[in-house]
Amino acid sequence: MTREKLWTRNFGALIAANGLLFASFHFLLPTITLYAASLGATGMQMGLIGGIFGYSAIFIRLFTDTGVRAFGKKLCLYAGLILCVLATLGYLFFTNINALVFARVIHGFGFGLATTFAAALAADVIPASRRGEGIGYFGLGSTVAMAMAPALGLWLLSEGAVNLFLSSITAALLALFFSYICRGKKMVSELPPVAPIKSSIRNRLCERNTGGPALLTILFGAGYGSVNTFIAMLAAEKSIEGAGLFFVVGTLFIFISRPFGGRLLDRYGAFAVVLPGAISYLAALGLLIWAPSLAWLLVASAFYGLGAGALLPALLTWMLNQVHPDRHSVASATFYNMLDIGTSTGIMVLGTVAGEIGFTGMFGWIAAIMGAFLLLAVIQYRSRDTNEVSFEEIEDAE
């Protein structure tokens, strides 16, 4: 049987747009609080500037369903990218801390919209039979951005804040350009939209039928965000130099795992990727806790890359396969909301724990979280409390 075509102009443009969107964001991730400090921000104000972004993104995603029905996915994506550009322009011109906080809220709104609808549009252009593989490739652009943009952002800030913000604006504008390229053929399925769902705040936050992968995404977000945030501190506590190489090696193994994991998911279902991905990530944490040298830290980064590269796209694909194609935008919003909730909460709680017991001990807590992830995944696997068949395949069978 001939495989459906995956690589199209629309799909390639969306990969580029998503990667540039994340580059624009990650230029600012380690630098915006440093910039605020240079303007005289207090510790509390810097914490607010750093944290309010994620909560703004979560808030705007509550209105994903309303937005897609009123304006469509493409216009919502455009709106998000334009808000990102305007917010970054605000950083460039605002020197008042309160105005900077306002720009940060607007940026969170824009990033929340843009990430949600870029993923939803990707789900539309990827053939259902190759969705796992396609989502894996879709995330490679953001993976490169996460590996390279923070260090580049710090260098740009050292050359002047204007250079930093202009680079971020340029990346966001290029993301807008590539999203515009996707205007060719009809991008959404011909299936009629399902009736609007009257939902509570809870259902807006987490789309129905996605509870299993949503809970796992929260747990993984707590572990993933904490490793990324505190790995340098762990290395310093162990007197290991060159910890920046952890992300270089990890990114390489993410590239290796993405296409392979996606094909495995398309053929055997989500658990065929989620279970080994969790085991690989747990192995990485065990090695990080024990690692006496840079060499072992880099061995751990290989397992980290294989695990993270498998789990992130698998959890997103699992959610997309759980819903009607008309609900892809809401499922995408659910994924990013759960990831943000897990990441923000994990960093705050585990950062406090590290202050009491040190970073090596705190990484033991991360291992416990991922152990709970694996246990819940096994329970769901044994109960088969998941729809391993996509809605497109169900309708074809009927």
Structure tokens at 283: 């192995």
Q: What is the pLDDT of residue 287?
A: 95
Q: What is the pLDDT of residue 299?
A: 94
In tens, the pLDDT along 288-345 reads: 999 999 899 999 999 999 998 889 888 988 888 877 777 777 777 788 888 888 887 8
For the chain, domain boundaries: 11-182, 200-389
In tens, the pLDDT along 82-103 reads: 999 999 999 988 888 889 989 9
Judge whether 132 and 264 are in contact, CB under 8 Å: yes
What pTM value is reported for the model?
Answer: 0.76
Q: Is 11-182's fold the same as 200-389's?
A: yes
Q: What is the pLDDT of residue 276?
A: 92
Domain 11-182, CATH class in plain words: mainly alpha
Q: CATH for 200-389, among 3.40.50.10090, 2.60.40.420, 3.40.50.620, 1.20.1250.20?
A: 1.20.1250.20
Q: What is the pLDDT of residue 203?
A: 57
Q: What is the pLDDT of residue 349?
A: 83
Mean per-residue pLDDT pooled into runs of 10, the chain (398 residues) = 76 92 86 82 75 84 81 90 95 89 93 89 84 82 78 84 93 94 54 48 62 88 82 84 80 82 81 91 95 92 91 86 76 83 81 84 94 92 58 45
